[in-house]
A and B are shown apart, each in its own frame.
Chain A
């Protein structure tokens, strides 16, 4: 199987190329050639599209389509970023197919699995088209260290039919947390009464060397934490070694984002909370008593 890989970020390209080796024997990467975007040695071939001034990533769609049309790979793996999902959708329309999005698993046979119905179910599907397109998140395909041959070929830019004009780009103040790659995650939910109490949670996270994420209400209703840190459907899907759920009731919308964790620890005052059914260790108690005690004794 010939797999093509396209990503928005350089870092994701390496990861996805390595992962692609699990699926196909030949892996080719597509990059928009610029100073900071060099071959990473993971692919057998790198297709380099010359970077155009003032052209946004999405406007390379036609170029990608031309390359895919000529090279006819069996599978195109794309990073599940917002820009890339738009590109994937447009490519799928051009090739008269549909994208398998946000896969949590992809087999050699091309069968992808992804969550549906708000996490209540997992759907297994497969493309009927000669070209499969899939967006796959970080950490889903466990990569190998195997290096590619790394030859490079330039593919010319194709002028898009509908060009957009970028007026302005403002970098978001990036939260320094990297939840998808964190080994330990503390998730905080509605059980905390006010924003200031997050301090106590952060203290615990620091003591056990974890990053802090949250359930949807904390990010969306209360806005106490950035939207990028919420775990669950349409948020982060994590699989850390240890997940500590504090004041989280454990509704399915949240648990789909953490139930692949190796060990789950739960703290909740409601002994009927669903989270205890999904926990390895738990304590039915007031988090305002338990958390400070943990900070104190785990230090």
Chain B
């Protein structure tokens, strides 16, 4: 049983800053595992542990994703090994390019039974890579999965959709995008962190996996912090009966 958990390396959202011209700055943001992919890695780890499978973490991106601490972080969460395609030419990809690059990386892994993706990436959250990857690999693909039961040659998954919960049977190999409800990602213990340093990570270049020139399918025109809408900011201090009364007078006009 070969399981692949795909993960994206993103700038830590908490440390993204906004410049006065509303540009976004990543200067202070360290690279980290995309939050939704922690659920994807955990789902893979639980399946691999239950079925004595082999879990591989796969990621693609710029050279800086090949970071020793980040790799240990991933490996402390269950995968036996990591395969990364790290090349500066793989920075800021759109979802079609990402799915193509992942496909090329996964073909280096060889045989696989199950590929897991997160619900979306923490930075762009397009929720598309799983769908596109499945289509490109020409295998069954499903999203919004919050339960996986692994069986011989197939999986039975539960999907949580807007109005219904759907149970479906999918033949393997397949690509599955999991929700953030599927599990609570583990908190790596010292034992797991120490063990991570002894696991293997393979780092390849775009050339190694045969990714040639592929153009962007979406043209990014700009990325800016939203302009704040002007608000009245008529704030009353304190909750004395009088203050509440004057507050009600003000909002009554709006609520009429």
Contact = CB atoms under 8 A, between A and B. Distances in A.
B131 interface: yes
B236 A284 contact: yes
A85 B122 CA distance: 17
Contact of B231 (A88, A122, A279, A289): A279
B221 A92 contact: no
A115 B232 CA distance: 25
Contact of A285 (B124, B181, B244): B244
A90 B244 contact: no
A23 B248 CA distance: 42
A281 B219 contact: no
Interface in B191-246: 215-226, 228-229, 231-239, 241, 243-245
Contact of B127 (A97, A101, A121, A276): A101
Contact of A117 (B96, B123, B126, B236): B123
B218 A111 contact: no
A168 B166 contact: yes
Contacts of A162: 138-141, 171
Contacts of B99: 93
Contacts, number: 246
B70 interface: no
B139 to A, nearest CB: 6
A81 B161 contact: yes
B135 to A, nearest CB: 4
A123 interface: yes
> Would you call the interface of chain B mostly helix, strand, loop, or mixed?
mixed
A82 B161 contact: yes
Given A122-B223, A164-B170, A99 B142 contact: no
A271 B239 CA distance: 12
Contacts of A293: 241, 244, 248
Interface string B101-135: 00000000000000000001011111111111111
A90 B140 contact: no
A92 B133 CA distance: 11
Given A116-B223, A126-B221, A166-B167, A93 B96 contact: yes
Interface of B: 13, 16, 18, 24, 94-97, 99, 120, 122-136, 138-144, 156, 159, 161-171, 181, 215-226, 228-229, 231-239, 241, 243-245, 247-248, 250-252, 254-255
Interface of A: 56, 58, 81-83, 85-90, 92-94, 96-102, 111, 115-118, 120-129, 161-162, 164-172, 174, 184, 208, 227-228, 233-234, 242, 256, 259-260, 263-266, 269, 271, 276-286, 289-290, 293-294, 297-298
16 contacts: A58-B142, A81-B162, A82-B159, A89-B129, A89-B135, A96-B217, A98-B95, A121-B225, A129-B217, A264-B231, A276-B235, A278-B228, A280-B231, A281-B247, A283-B235, A283-B243
